[in-house]
Amino acid sequence: MAGTEQFAVPLSMLLGNPALGLTRIAGPAEDRLISTVGTTEVEDPVPYLVGGELLLTAGVRLPSGPNGIEDYVSRVVAAGVAALGFGVAPVHQEVPAELAAACDRHGLPLLRLPPGTPFVAVGQAVYDAIAEVRNSTLRRISTAQSALASAAARPDALRAVLQQLSAHTEAASVLFDAHGNELFDAGRRPPDPGPRLLRELAVSTLARSAATSARGRPAPPAAAAHHHDGVHLTVHTLPGADGAAALALGQAARTAPTPVDRQVTGTATVLLSLLTSPSHALGADAGGVGALVRLMLGAAPADVAHALLPDDEPGAADHWVVVHGRRLRSRPGPAGRSSTDPAQLAALGTALGTPYVHLDRARLRALVPSAPDTRPTPPAQAAALGWTLGFSSPVPAAELPDADAQAERALERAVAGEAPAVVHSAAHSLHSLVSAHEAREHARARFAPLSRAPAPGAAVLLGTLRTWLAFHGTWDRTAAELRVHRNTVRHRLARVAELLDVDLQDPEVRMELWFALRWLPDDPAAGGQGSG
């Protein structure tokens, strides 16, 4: 626990202890927290008080007269005493009525200690109860921290940490980016307008943190809280990689955060900060490093892919899904932002369920471990971040080049159809009726005449043809995608039709060419620019 947190027990716990025999005879009925026990027989105990005490006295030096008792009670209340315990006998046979009246007026709980209850027994009961609260609290914190640490080691670390945080604090948890997009959430969401208010609080806190950061240095962590209609909203910022706080953790709960909640949230905030840091998001584990070394020394992908599979699920994920992505939606942010933004990597990696994500500005490629015959599920978080995705079918490592082509074709269809994602499926398609070898040989022969094309060359012509087919023969959209004039597109496709001796307006021809493009081996990256 933080050093400023003080353990305490409710007064009702002492009143409910039959061994003590305590009775409340004056003061308010609401419960009070007792953090310590003090005994005094001086006329002015105030210099010796720290607040939160159950102050015990036998009234040896209790001031005489109503005015003196009134002043005594008002002073100990001002000093923060939580309750006053009065032991009857041998000095007083009963609690003075003036003392009870003064406690009622000043809102100080007054307890009667029977003659058979020593002060030391009350003190021991309080400290035993505080020790039990301390042990219980530490057990809860330890359990929560262990669960958070385990969650941070999962492939979907960000989502898993939020789920554990929500479970151990009973609060809805949301991870926001600087623009208020919800990347991940867990727990029961509050009713409206709670989600909107939490988002606004996160955005304003991130903006304030970024505004106060020193130039070229990360913004310091910041926090904010708001209460609305019985819902407690809190926000904690996470440090960003480019000198500004990039993400914020928001929480919404029906009760105010307890010391345990604050401690667990602090641990989760540290873990989330580490998970979105450059050293984590851009790092690699020992298995990944070993696989890279073997690849660079000549090993085949199929020979090293097993080193990248999850250790906790042997045999369950022996296939791979390739993901291609393009960020089409413009998102505001600081100029010169890194092309490998750690927050983006962590968010996309968690959304896709893999650490194997390569980010190159507005392009994305990823490898996702998968079981055979499992259809990939496009994550909604990617669309929220502005990404359009294409997914391949699950394939063994030896067929990754084919899956790479599938993912690129799926991405092209997603862009053309303005869909957030497209998943390639070979089931019940013509591709499943032809062997991969025969299909590749057909593709080579079909497009061989393009090798004789003058500038801009076969690669540009193939790229233009593929884009035009993906956009269903739309000249303007193809030109916009390739960033050339529509007449350039027409001129290139006229060359393709001439060299291949086909009619591109024939639907059967288009279908046959699209099939062949799917299997074209060693297809060079199609260029969008170039002379017509």
What counts of helices (H) and strands (E) characterise the chain? 18, 17
Strand 387-391, strand 421-423: pairing: parallel
Which stretch of DSSP H or E encloses residue 7? none
Q: How confident is the model at residue 242 (pLDDT cuts 50, 70, 90)?
A: very low
Assess whether pLDDT exceeds 90 at residue 39. yes
Q: Determine the average pLDDT of the residues in 350-376.
A: 83
Select from 61, 13, 6 the least CA-distant residue to 36: 6
What local confidence, expressed as pLDDT, does residue 524 receive? 41
What local confidence, expressed as pLDDT, does residue 477 receive? 87
For 404, the token pair is 């790479």
Strand 110-113, strand 83-87: pairing: parallel
Which stretch of DSSP H or E encloses residue 240? none
Lowest mean pLDDT among 2-11, 19-28, 183-192, 344-353: 2-11
395 DSSP assignment: B
466-516 pLDDT tens trace: 888 888 888 888 888 888 998 999 999 998 988 988 888 888 888 888 888
Q: What is the mean pLDDT of the chain?
A: 82
Beta bridge partners of 283: none
Distances (CA, A) of 426 to 33, 34, 439, 518: 67, 69, 14, 11
What local confidence, expressed as pLDDT, does residue 278 receive? 54
245-261 pLDDT tens trace: 478 999 999 998 988 89
* DSSP states along 351-363: HHT-S-EEEETTE
Overall pTM > 0.85: no
CB 91 within 8 A of CB 59: yes
| Percent of the chain whose pLDDT exceeds 90 | 33
| Percent of the chain whose pLDDT exceeds 70 | 83
Distances (CA, A) of 513 to 402, 447, 502, 506, 509: 17, 9, 10, 11, 6
Assess whether pLDDT exceeds 60 at residue 336. no
Select from 220, 267, 237, 241 the least CA-distant residue to 177: 237
Q: Determine the average pLDDT of the residues in 159-174.
A: 93
Distance CA 258, CA 256 (A): 6
Distances (CA, A) of 52 to 9, 41, 77, 453: 10, 18, 10, 89
For 342, the token pair is 């750690």
Q: Please tell me whether residue 107 adopts helix, strand or coil conformation.
A: coil
Q: Please tell me whether residue 222 adopts helix, strand or coil conformation.
A: coil
For 125, the token pair is 């009961």
Residue 499 one-letter amino acid: L
For 58, the token pair is 């036998």
- CB-facing half-sphere around the CA of 241: CA atoms within 13 A: 21
CB 378 within 8 A of CB 387: no
CB 275 within 8 A of CB 152: yes
Angle at the Cα of 103 (from 98 to 108), degrees rounded to 5?
160
Select from 117, 104, 129 the least CA-distant residue to 33: 129
Strand 231-238, strand 223-228: pairing: antiparallel
CA 419 to chain centre: 25
Beta bridge partners of 358: 365
Which stretch of DSSP H or E encloses residue 20? none
Task: Write the secondary structure of 480-514 as one string of H (helix), E (strand) and C (coil).
Answer: HHHCCCHHHHHHHHHHHHHHHCCCCCCHHHHHHHH
Distances (CA, A) of 408 to 28, 380, 422, 423: 72, 19, 10, 10
Q: How confident is the model at residue 162 (pLDDT cuts 50, 70, 90)?
A: very high
Q: How far apart are the first and last CA of the chain?
A: 70
For 159, the token pair is 């989502």
Q: Determine the average pLDDT of the residues in 130-152.
A: 88
Q: How confident is the model at residue 323 (pLDDT cuts 50, 70, 90)?
A: very high
